Amino acid sequence: MLTHHDLDHIGNAFMLQKLTKAKLWASSEDIPFIMGNKERPGIKKIFASIFPVKKPEEIQPYNKDVKIGDIEIIKTPGHVSILYKDVLFAGDLVKCKSGKLIAFPNMNFDEELLRKSIKSITSIPFKWVCPAHGEPVERGNQWETIK
């Protein structure tokens, strides 16, 4: 499952799909970017031309707020997070630096939208956070105090 259409995530998904023949899911909003049918916004457009990545062979769309077995897709403004039991896969919403969760506003992400996304997950119970960048960390009260 892809949380969003950034190149680093797509390249990794392509390789995993090739090696394992696993099914791949992404949001219907992100699939046109992933497959190259829609240009990425802002600086991501430049990165896509400089760093071409191989596209996955097949992608299944998932809708927001769905469950696939024990996996729950959580649509947040501008992003998707994935909850598996008590583990939140937060994609690029946050990163872990020196054991602390911090907001991860990438190069063309709307800071206000990022804050909304982080806040929208606050009431969801989970024990662990696995960001796309950085090590997994125990939630404790960190999610509520992300800066």
- Which domain, by its residues, includes 74? 64-147
Using only the alpha carbons of the chain, give its radius of gyration.
15
Q: Are residues 81 and 57 located together in one domain of the fold?
A: no
> pLDDT grade, residue 22 (50/70/90)?
confident
d(CA 56, CA 68): 20
pLDDT of residue 146 exceeding 60 = yes
Tens of pLDDT, residues 44-95 = 888 888 988 888 888 988 766 677 788 888 887 667 889 999 999 998 889 9
Tens of pLDDT, residues 102-130 = 998 765 467 888 888 899 999 999 999 99
147: domain CATH number is: 3.60.15.10
Cβ burial, residue 133 (10 Å; 0-12/13-18/19+):
middle
Q: What is the pTM of this model?
A: 0.79
Q: Are residues 87 and 100 located together in one domain of the fold?
A: yes
Q: How many domains are contained in the chain?
A: 2
